[in-house]
Amino acid sequence: MTTPLWQKDSTAESTTDDWVHRFTVGDDYEWDRLLLPYDVEASRAHAWGLHQIGVLSEGDRERINDALDALLDAFEAGGVTVTPQDEDCHTVIERFVTEHAGTAGEKLHTGRSRNDQVLAALRLYLRDALATIGAQTATLTEALCDLAERHADVLMPGYTHLQRAMPSTVALWALGYAESLAADLSALRHARRQINVSPLGSAAGYGVPVLDFPREAVAKRLGFRDVQTHATAVQLARGKHELAVSHACTQVGASCNRLASDLVLFATAEFDFVDLPPEHCTGSSIMPQKQNPDVLELVRASHHRLAAEMQSLATGPSNLPGGYHRDLQLTKAAVLRSVQMTSDMLTALTEVVRGVTFNPEHTRAACTPDLLATQRALEQVAEGVPFRTAYQQAAVGDAESGPIDPVAVLDAYETDGTPGQERPDLVREQLIPHRDWINEA
């Protein structure tokens, strides 16, 4: 087994039982493979900070940078990875840099702990991941706007309680979800801003004695908006920052969940409102006729998985005293699972939305005259009849027979955002304030 960074005697074998090592490491090493490039980036900035205060000479810093370059090359080529024996990516980095930079490498961990080191890498990763998720959310929003424009003025029933309620349109259905997703971008942006603060210099949670580490300058170098001033605040933020990210992802998941649920329902033979792209469906091993909407069903289920991760982040750190505790290690996997699931979910749903087509004949045929009851009541109101009286008369009145006229139905609406008055341009305008941060992905 690789000698742990915390081993007192580097020449001695680890005294930790193998099962203890397996239990404490868990699957953390797998997640650290995602974080290693970001840990390298933070290590480079940390070395710069140590050079500013005289701990590293210019030559030391150059040797460390060369070693970090070599490590990234080896990692990307598959020659270096993080294994269970390594425990984490921090061990891999320190060992590699020491082997390639000698004494200079031994100085790299000066003034930092794995506690602030992992948080720096994690926040850098999440900053990029949230920008990517933001871009994917905007892309899905655009795809829904395109879907609305492809099906302009296509009548379909609107539902409450899964019962036909009032006239709607395919465009109105699509743009409702588009606007919901556009609003979700604000939650993603807020979470990204919240986590974009530097923990470096807090070390194990109580600061660094003797050395006046240039925390603000290092934070600026890494693109953080600020530092967490009090060292003790850093570990208290663990779980809370991750919860903010997970909550934002769950908000996106909620929009995707209901969109996927609608499409699964609309694809049934009983509705037959939509044709799903066959390349995004699967079949049955026993029933040859089946085309199953598995992608949409997994998108629908992803929201519940996201909610579970969010719950673990809300409860896991609770009741812990101040400072670091190993319980907090589990927050890393929870938030990383959240961002990965969200990204996969958005990719899948966007592909389906781009390929789905509605069947206008079927959606219009489902718009029976009873859907016009509210319109009939309001027409009487326009003639001076009190609404409750008009409501009661419309409830017992004879409905027209035969199909309804789509043009007449849509002409009854004048307000933006109602059937026939859809505004995909306004939804697209809601994306504009987010272009600066989602384009950073």
| Residue positions annotated with a catalytic role | 161, 284
Residue 5 structure tokens: 């960074």
- 167 phi and psi angles, rounded to 5 deg: -65, 145
Which residues fall within 8 angstroms of residue 155, CB to CB, at 6 or more apart?
Answer: 167, 168, 169, 360, 363, 364, 367, 404, 406, 409, 410, 419
Residue type, 107: K
Alpha-carbon gap, residue 151 to 422, rounded angstroms: 11
Residue type at 24 in one-letter notation: T
Contacts (Cβ under 8 Å, ≥6 apart) of 18: 1
Closest CA to 274 of 188, 173, 198, 197: 173
DSSP for residue 229: S
* Per-residue b or e along 267-276, where b marks 16 or more CB atoms closer than 10 Å to that residue's CB: beeebebbeb
Q: Residue 342: what residue type? A: T
Q: Label residues 176-192 b or e (16+ Cβ within 10 Å = b).
A: bbbbbbbebbebbbebb
C-beta neighbour count of 50 within 10 angstroms: 25
How many angstroms separate the CA atoms of 145 and 289, rounded? Answer: 32
DSSP helix/strand/coil, 163: strand
Write down the number of H helices and E strands in the chain.
Answer: 18, 6
Cα–Cα distance for residue pair 388/381, rounded to 1 Å: 9
User: Two tokens at 160?
Assistant: 């409450």
With H, G, I as helix, E, B as strand and everything else as coil, classify residue 63: helix
Q: Say which amino acid occupies 400.
A: E
